[in-house]
Amino acid sequence: MSNAVVIQNVHKTYRQVEALKGITLDIPQGSFFGLLGPNGAGKSTLINIIAGLVRANQGHISVLGYDVVKDWRQARFSLGIVPQELVYDAFFNVREMLKLQAGYFGLGKENEPWIDELLETLSLTNKANESFLRLSGGMKRRLLIALALVHKPKVVVLDEPTAGVDVELRQSLWQFAKKLHQAGHTILLTTHYLEEAEALCEKIAILNHGEMIALDQTKNLLARHPYRWLYLDLKEDYQDFPLNLKDKIITQKPQQLVLRLHREQDSIVGILEELKKANIEVVDLHTNEPSLEEVFIHLINQETSS
Amino acid sequence: MKYNINWLGFYTLFVKEVWRFWKVATQTILAPVLNVLLYLIVFTSALSQHVEIYPNVNYTVFLLPGLIMLAILQNAFANSSSSLFQAKQNAGITFVLLAPISSLEFYLAFIGAAIVRGLLVGIGVWISVIFFVDLPFHNIGLAFFFAIIASGLLGAFGLVSAIYSDKWDHIAAFQNFIILPLTFLSGVFYLIRDLPPFWAKISYFNPFFYLIDGFRYSFLGVSDMNLMVSIIFSSAAFIAISIFTVWLLETGYKLRG
Ligand SMILES: Nc1ncnc2c1ncn2[C@@H]1O[C@H](COP(=O)(O)OP(=O)(O)O)[C@@H](O)[C@H]1O
Ligand SMILES: [Mg+2]
């Protein structure tokens, strides 16, 4: 499989801030790739260098074989970028913005059926004549996606599309991203939610302070941090717990217990049975996936200990 | 899709820039036209009895081409500077920066729109005064030449200002500290050679002076400078700022981090 995006030794420094410290990374064609990292990790900087919005101090990036600096025209035709910020042009309505954007890419009337289709797919048809400022946050986000797709790019980049959006929109954005991927687009998604990357991405790169601290298939990466959390609400304020549960207890509050479970070795059913045997009654329970922070700490600890 | 010029991309951006000011034409065309008419009323009623600059040329007639030219200059500047600055502020410029549009195509689109606005304002003033003032027309082609060069020059300067500016205050500073002084030393209200020698000397480096003198010649058939000098100096200034602006865009300064 050839690569959709090739990133070689990219450095970027903004005045004093070293935002990227030599990133090398290949994004396979047709893949759903996640770029994961906390705020300030350098994700947007990398995306913006791919897009030509920011210039690297060192290194090269190519998109479908086109260097983003030397063959910038072809590289930009190949790319659809959904920026993190809600950027806008207050003068024009939704359809006008889409037509203008298509025009910038050299596409005229022949592209209008595609614009209608995009409006339909992204549920913007009845907002086609509204100005950007009158759209809800979710609609603005969807419009930005439509704008990125107006020239049918092969590689689609979504920079934190779900940061600060409600659950419903997040679900619909996930569905849409999956559909794009199935239609053959290479997808590059940045996020700081691990569960999002886990749900969508085949392969993940983790960025922290401008450095890549992990690059692997999603399943391998999660296996490196094989724990999850079990939250139990108890009927009473118990004091004694079965001995083999004690080393799993992370926090113990009156009528509440948090356990750290190994994905493969510990079963929730087994834990519940043991509690039952000890006459401890569970009222409610839920599990929590490790947060990105926890995977990080784990990865960083691994790196320093090995 | 291998081509070296993105014609439709350029054309779309140009149309967008024209469309942008056309949507608010009362502010961008009508208001400036009224503005010039007010100036004209005030200046001519105060001065026309007392001043004669060229023999047999009424002061109002002397003044008008200069006032039209000033309106062209100001509006061309306002168009490109406010459009680009606003697009920078709300990051709407991102859409253009993501597109396969070159610095030259970008430049020509913005300059083109500034020229259209300059011409519309200029023509607007002209149409509204010919009913009251007996303004001759010596050479219409020449008038268009100077109007286009002038709005192109200030359109480019507007782009440069917008690129450097981080706040509206900065744009205002470009207007107050560069455009305004150049306006006062341009010979709109008097002839440069009637100024004290020091100021006259400075004025000979002022592109506005050549634009106004040449533009006035297009109407009256008389001028302060040799016409050829005005044509060459204005064109040279326009070409120089064009090269600088395209270069500035190409560096990505303040536009592409
Ligand atoms: N235009 C800029 N000027 C100065 N510093 C910047 C700029 N953009 C980003 N940074 C800094 O670079 C680092 C990486 O930022 P960014 O790429 O936005 O991270 P992320 O998208 O992962 O949150 C941060 O420390 C941020 O403050
Ligand atoms: Mg970001």
> Which ipTM value was assigned to this complex?
0.92
Nearest one of B204, B119, B203 to B154, comparing CA atoms: B119
Q: Fill in the amino acid letter for A290.
A: P
Taking the CA of A292 as reference, the closest ligand is 1
Residue numbers in chain A where pLDDT is lower than 50 = none
What is d(CA A173, CA A191) in angstroms, rounded to the nearest whole number?
A: 13
Which stretch of A279-293, B90-104, B175-189 has the lowest confidence by average pLDDT?
A: A279-293
Side-chain half-sphere exposure of B122, counting CA atoms within 13 A: 27
| B38 inside 8 A of chain A by CB | no
Sequence-ordered alpha helix ranges (H) in chain A: 43-51, 72-78, 94-104, 112-121, 137-149, 167-182, 194-200, 218-224, 243-246, 268-277, 292-305
Interval between CA A42 and ligand 1 midpoint (Å) = 6
Given this model, what pLDDT does residue B20 score? Answer: 95
Q: Six-digit token pair at B63?
A: 């003044």
Dig out the tokens for B212 from the structure.
């106004």
Q: Nearest 5°: phi and psi at B101? A: -115, 125
- Give the tens place of pLDDT for each residue, B3-26: 589 999 999 999 999 999 999 999
Give the pLDDT of residue A244.
83
Which residues, other chains included, contact A110 with Cβ-Cβ below 8 Å and sequence gap of 6+? none
How many Å lie between the centroid of ligand 1 and the Cα of residue A209?
Answer: 10
Whether the Cβ atoms of residue A14 and residue A42 lie closer than 8 Å to each other: no
Strands A17-28 and A32-36: unpaired
**Residue bearing the CA closest to ligand 1, atom 11:** A19
Q: Residue B1: pLDDT above 50? A: no
Interface test with A, best of B2, B11, B12 (most A CBs within 10 A): B12
Structure tokens, A304: 């320093």
- Using a 6 Å CB cutoff, which residues line ligand 1? A 14, 17, 19, 37, 39-45; B 257
Tell me the ligand closest to A40's alpha carbon. 1
Please give the model's pTM, rounded to 2 decimal places: 0.89
Q: Give B127's Cβ-side CA count (13 Å radius).
A: 9
Pinpoint the alpha helices (H) of B165-226: 168-174, 180-184, 197-203, 207-220
- Close Cβ partners of B66 (under 8 Å, ≥ 6 residues apart): B186, B187, B188, B189, B212, B215, B216
pLDDT of residue A297: 73
Cβ contact, residue pair B91, A52, below 8 Å: no
Provide CB contacts within 8 A for B233, sequence distance 6+: B207, B210
> Does residue B47 have a pLDDT over 80?
no
User: Are residues B1 and A147, on separate chains, in Cβ contact within 8 Å?
Assistant: no
Mean pLDDT calculated for residue range B120-125: 97
| Ligand 1 mean position, distance from CA A220 (Å) | 29
**Looking at the partner chain, which of B11, B13, B90 has a beta carbon nearest the beta carbon of A87?**
B90
The minimum CA-CA distance between B20 and chain A, rounded to whole Å, is: 7
Q: How far is A88 from chain B (nearest CA, A)?
A: 5
Residues lining ion ligand 2 (Cβ < 5 A) are A 43-44, 84
Tell me the sheet residues that pair with B20.
none
Tell whether A76 lies on the interface with B, counting CB pairs under 8 A: yes
| Distance between CA atoms of residues B82 and B102, nearest Å | 21
